[in-house]
Amino acid sequence: MADFATVDDLAARLLGRDLTEDERAKVPNLIADASAIMREQVPDIDARQPATATGVCCAMVLRVVLNPEGKRQQSVDDYSYTTDSARSSGELYLTAQELAQLQPAVGGRAFSIVPGCS
């Protein structure tokens, strides 16, 4: 199965700079891992081929590329930093919004149920 993105797809989304040589060496494996996570979370993704798959895959990888140390917070005086909780879970992950983008749209109208009203 093909990955959902390529190094060129990722590079096109990296605004303001080019991929470094080290990043170019690591990105193909990150893309493959992100694609595997997407297939695990959305089993029918290959059959449906959602248009958002490339963008979601790149977003997953860019979180790692743009923040390789996993910093979530950093202070300057008496230096300290906090590691992003995603780092402890394997770095690559789908956000709830990204997962929703990969799911098929549900047809029908939205409605509310209000108890006690008729």
What secondary structure does DSSP assign to 78-114, as a single string? TTEEEE-HHHHTTS----HHHHHHHSPPPPS------
How many CB atoms are closer than 10 A to CB 35? Answer: 23
CB-neighbour burial class of residue 70 (10 A; exposed 0-12, middle 13-18, buried 19+): middle
Residue of higher predicted confidence among 83 and 13: 13
- The whole-angstrom separation of Cα 104 and Cα 116 is 33
- Residue 61, pLDDT > 90, answer yes
Higher pLDDT, 26 or 84: 26
pLDDT value at residue 91: 79
User: Which of residues 11 and 90 earns the better pLDDT score?
Assistant: 11
Stronger pLDDT, 89 or 102, i.e. the higher one: 102
